[in-house]
Amino acid sequence: MEINIGLLGAGVVGSAVASVLLEGKEDLGRKIGGAVRLKKILVRESERQRSFQAPPGVLVTDFREVLNDPDIQIVVELMGGEEPAARYIERLLVAGKHVVTANKEVIAKHGPELSARARSTERQLSFEASVGAGIPIISPLSRDLLANDIRSIRAIVNGTTNYIVTRMAMDHMAFDDALLEAQHLGFAEADPTNDIAGTDAAYKLAILASLAFHTKVVPEDVFREGISSLEAQDFRYSQELGFAIKLLAIAHKENGSLQLRVHPALVPQDHILASIDGAFNAIEVEGDLMGRVLFHGMGAGSESTASAVIGDVIEIARRLNLDIKPLPMEENSRSIAIAPMSELVSRYYFRLNVADRAGVLASIAKVLGDRGISIASVIQKDADLPTQTADLVVTTHPSREDAVQESIRCMGELDVVRKVSNMVRIEDWPSR
């Protein structure tokens, strides 16, 4: 039986997928156990120059040409963005098509409704490429790791921000220059604000946490802080303290509730996540049976994303050839409470710009001490003689987030403090 495929979108990733489906057909046919044909590609303009050769009649500009084509059994959605992609996926499932998507925003925001639709229509909705591009993580969480009670996920899931922090740390590059490079390399979103502000990572964490903890997680559940407050000094000082700075996406189950957060974090240099550089992603999952396992690889880019998308297509096409129904997708309602960020207990790093004179340390120590925050280390850096100011770098023992936020406000009001320049949480890995 020939399997016909529809593709929505021929941007960077869509073109890579189209190339493989159009040029690698024989090899794919062998893996699938039958022929596959890319029958229609939905594009905005059919006349544009493209990186693949589409046979006549394949490029279409009206979604209904894909939706209403009775030969098309699998549709790959690579348009990106929430709408119209979410609406199209819903309509495709209702029309009896299986759907493969790389769209993290749609799955993070509409995953539960779309999964319910896929269950009711007995169709498959596959989204391996939505997190970590070609790194297998959706499939392991949905299958191989199911025996585990998952305790935590700690992940670097945004290639753009990891590229930026790597270039800032290693090559002392300015933030804007590093971002421009990431855009040129094709990792960044159309609007890179979503990368920089941690929104893209929050979408991905919502998807991973829903699967890992068998509960409904939406992007709004995830606390998020981006990387734009990081400055050259933070990388320098944290290196001296033995840490790298990474934008981490963290889901942690503790005392029956789920902590969900995306923020820059100081990662001990001897932990493997500290050495994940450039556009690479890594996802560490900790379960009760298998302990910690790390999934690592190229987490952004057209070919890596195409790898996961085509893997999903192959899996659905094999089932179609063998006439095997998809396994119904798990039905997730909110089964675990989300812990408020104010209750987080963590170690913290502060960088303060202060007057360089007697009594300054004492007043800062008092603000922290009065709120139960115990200082672990203080280093004075970069004293500036003409202005009589210096940078103070303070790290704390485990403290509560609400007390830390209150201390930042109070320290900022002290005469001797010119500026609380930054606060970064320190991520610790308890020994098992």
Contacts with ligand HSE, residue ranges (CB under 6 A): 133, 158-160, 187-189, 195, 200, 299-300
Nearest Cα to 404, choosing from 360, 374, 363, 379?
374
CB of 329 within 8 A of CB of 390?
no
Cα 259–chain centre separation = 16
SS3 257: strand
Nearer to ligand HSE, 278 or 287 (CB): 278
Minimum gap (Å) between residue 206 Cβ and ligand HSE: 13
SS3 282: strand
Q: What angle do CA 330, 284, 134 make, to 5 degrees?
A: 70
To the query of whether residue 39 is one of the catalytic residues in this protein, the response is no
Alpha-carbon span 175 to 248, nearest angstrom: 18
Minimum gap (Å) between residue 427 Cβ and ligand HSE: 20
Minimum gap (Å) between residue 279 Cβ and ligand HSE: 7
Go through the chain and tell me how many residues it has. 432
Please state at what angle helix 25-32 crosses helix 12-23, rounded to 10 degrees.
80
Nearer to ligand HSE, 76 or 411 (CB): 76
Q: Which of 204, 246, 253, 325 is catalytic?
A: 204
Nearer to ligand HSE, 159 or 198 (CB): 159
Nearer to ligand HSE, 297 or 398 (CB): 297
Minimum gap (Å) between residue 306 Cβ and ligand HSE: 12
Nearer to ligand HSE, 222 or 420 (CB): 222
Convert 177-241 into a string of H (helix), E (strand) and C (coil): HHHHHHHHCCCCCCCCHHHHCCHHHHHHHHHHHHHHHCCCCCHHHCEECCCCCCCHHHHHHHHHH
Alpha-carbon span 136 to 331, nearest angstrom: 22
- Burial call 374-397: b when 16+ CB within 10 Å, e when fewer: ebbeeeeeeeeeeeebbbbbbbbe
CB of 337 within 8 A of CB of 256?
yes
Minimum gap (Å) between residue 164 Cβ and ligand HSE: 10
Nearer to ligand HSE, 199 or 407 (CB): 199
Minimum gap (Å) between residue 160 Cβ and ligand HSE: 3
What residues are annotated to the active site?
204
